[in-house]
Amino acid sequence: MKRSELAGPALAKPVLDRSALLDVQDISRLYGPGKGCESIDFRLHAGEVLGIVGESGSGKSTLLRVLAGLETPDAGRVIYHTNDGELDLYAISEARRRALLRLEWGLVHQNPRDGLRMGVSAGANVGERLMALGERHYGNLRAAGQDWMTQVELDAGRIDDAPLTFSGGMQQRLQIARTLVTRPRLVFMDEPTGGLDVSVQARLLDMIRTLVRQLGLSVVLVTHDLAVARLLSHRLLVMRRGQVVEAGLTDQILDDPQHAYTQLLVSSVLTP
């Protein structure tokens, strides 16, 4: 791997590619009536951020886990369009799915401790993802760690510090650096600002939006926060009791919701 490939994201904004990256076909994963997700269909395009919103228990996190290859659906297909063809996510082996998540995809957990190795240094957390791609040169790995800590507004001088010594917001930034260092084609984000105070959320969201734009990432974002969805998402799926009740462009849905449940969600945010 060349040193230039390990550096932080380029500043040029990429051209948005509208080719399909992910096709979700009639996905269901149910644990009981109204628990889980049922009959979900959508297409994710390259360079697009798709927000999935709904109240707690609406099925959005279950859907995310199915899409990320972490939970087998009861029915339906998830088709990933690779550079070489198509992969049916649940027709390939579990080992191949894990390799996808490690090499071509990324997952940002709500709790950063679920996405970090707390017993190794910040730099090691970033470098491990690159080692999975075959990089073994210590100097390159360390330089990449420093580059990415800077990109996510962490002090690169703390590269040898353990994540346990970082605040929650700093741990989330480190998790994002660990996820993006391999330049994944597709990133799944599960409530990436959950549990953080408002000022930390604002800075983190601004950083995520900048990196998504600069890298041309495709993102599936789960959030209960409509302000987060508006800031980051191109399109929205609104879920209730395991089903999608409304889908469309983010601004259209939030400014002119058609479904009664979406109207209730939007009004509850706007009501003092």
pLDDT at 163 exceeding the cut of 60: yes
Output the domain CATH number for residue 86.
3.40.50.300
Query: Alpha-carbon distance 10 to 214, whole Å?
Result: 7
Q: Which of 21-30, 100-109, 124-133 is the most confident on average?
A: 21-30
Say if 256 falls within a structural domain: yes
pLDDT at 14 exceeding the cut of 60: no
* pLDDT of 18: 53
pLDDT at 34 exceeding the cut of 80: no
Total length of the chain: 272
* pLDDT of 270: 52
Burial of 148 (0-12, 13-18, 19+ CB in 10 A): buried
Say if 240 falls within a structural domain: yes
Query: Alpha-carbon distance 226 to 123, whole Å?
Result: 34
Say if 164 falls within a structural domain: no
Count of structural domains, the chain = 1
Say if 195 falls within a structural domain: yes
pLDDT: is 43 or 203 the higher one?
A: 43
CA distances (Å), origin 235, targets 116, 165, 182: 29, 37, 25
Say if 258 falls within a structural domain: yes
Say if 1 falls within a structural domain: no
What b/e sequence results for 59-84 when a residue is b if at least 16 CB atoms lie within 10 Å of its CB, and e otherwise?
Answer: bbbbbbbbbbbeeebeebebbbbeee
| Segment 6-31 mean pLDDT | 66
pLDDT in tens, 122-151: 999 999 888 888 888 889 999 999 999 999
pLDDT at 10 exceeding the cut of 50: no
Q: Which domain holds residue 202?
A: 19-121+182-270
Say if 210 falls within a structural domain: yes
Question: What dihedral do alpha carbons 237, 105, 112, 145 form, nearest 10°?
Answer: -140
For helices 168-180 and 198-215, give the axis angle rounded to 10 degrees. 10
pTM for the predicted model, two decimal places: 0.88
Question: Among 205, 236, 257, 243, which Cα is nearest to 53's?
Answer: 236
Say if 167 falls within a structural domain: no
pLDDT at 42 exceeding the cut of 60: yes
Tokens coding 112? 């950063």
pLDDT at 228 exceeding the cut of 50: yes
